[in-house]
Amino acid sequence: MQFYEKTLKQYNQYTADPKKKNYFEIALTLGLMIVLLLMIYPAVTYILNLNKEIQAGRVVKEGLSQKIQDLQNARNAFADVQTDLPLLQLALPIGSDVDKYVQKPLEDLASRHGLTLKSIQFADLPISQPATENVKLRDMDFTLSLTGGYTNLNDFLKDLEKFVRVTNVDSITLKGSGSDVTVTISAVTNFLGSPVIIPNQTSGGTTP
C-alpha cells in the first residue's frame, strides 16, 4: 500500500505541471515503443528467415525434380548409344592409348602402304590411365619418320586423315634420295586426360 501511495504521489508530481506531464508522457511512449520493438525484433527476423528458407526449399525441390527427369533422359540416351561406346573410345580415348595408336593406324598403315617406319617420338605423354572423372581434352604431339615411295606416302597421309581417331598434321618435311623419300611428319592427336597442373610460380622455393 505504501509503495502504491508513493508511486501515485510521484506520478501526481510529474503530472501537476502540464509541461512536465507532456515530457513524462513522451518519455513513456518512447520507452514503450523501444520495449515493443525489442520484443517484436526476434519474431520478425525469425519469420523473414523462415520465408526465405521456404522459398529456397521450393526452388531446390523444383531443381531436383528437373534434375531427376534429366538424369532419366540421360540414362535412356546413354542406353541408346551404349553399343557405340567402343567407337567413341577409339575416336577420343580416355588416356593416351599410345600403344594402340602406334599399332593402328601408324604401323598398320605404314606396312599396308609399303613404308618403313624409322622412328616415332612423342613429347610429354602420360602413360597411366587417368581417373574417368574430371578429364580434359589434351594434345598428344608426335614426330614420325617414314621412308618409302612418294605416292605411298601420299596414300599413307590420306588414310591417316580418314582414320577415326583424328590426327592433325602440322608439318611435313621431305628429303629425297633416289626413288625413296624420307618424310618427317609433325602431328597432333587428342585424348581425354588429367588436366595439366602448372605449378604456382609464386609459391614454393626458399627465400634468402
Q: Which residue(s) pair with 119 in the sheet?
A: 145
**What sign results for the dihedral spanned by CA atoms 173, 177, 179, 182?**
negative
DSSP characters over 156-198: HHHHHHHSSS-EEEEEEEEEEETTEEEEEEEEEEEEEEPPPPP
Residue 110 CB-density burial (10 A; 0-12 exposed, 13-18 middle, 19+ buried): buried
Binding part of the chain for another protein, among 23-31, 127-135, 139-147, 181-189 by CB under 8 A, reads: 23-31
CB of 193 to another protein, least distance (A): 20
Q: Which residues pair with 177 in a beta bridge?
A: 180
Rule CB under 8 A: is residue 71 a binding residue for another protein?
A: yes
- Round to whole Å and give the CA distance between 93 and 115: 27
- Residue from 8, 11, 26, 139 touching another protein (CB under 8 A): that is 26
How many residues of this chain interact with another protein, rule: CB under 8 A?
44
The yes or no reply on residue 68 touching another protein (CB under 8 A) is no
Is residue 137 a contact residue for another protein (CB under 8 A)? Answer: no
Asked if 55 interacts with another protein (CB under 8 A), we say yes
The answer to the question of residue 30 lying near another protein (CB under 8 A) is yes
- Per the CB < 8 A criterion, the answer to whether 192 and 129 are in contact is no
Stretch that binds another protein, among 21-29, 106-114, 132-140, 167-175 (CB under 8 A): 21-29
- Rule CB under 8 A: say whether 121 interacts with another protein: no
* Residue numbers 154-193 binding another protein by CB under 8 A: 162-164
Asked if 56 touches another protein (CB under 8 A), the answer is yes
Helices and strands (DSSP H and E) totals, the chain: 6, 4
Q: Can you tell me which of 6, 8, 11, 81 binds another protein, judged by CB under 8 A?
A: 81
Residues 6+ apart with CB under 8 A from 179: 149
Which stretches of the chain bind another protein, using CB under 8 A?
14, 20, 23-24, 26-27, 30-31, 33-34, 37-38, 41, 44-45, 48-49, 52-53, 55-56, 59-60, 63-64, 66-67, 70-74, 77-78, 80-81, 84, 87-88, 90-91, 162-164
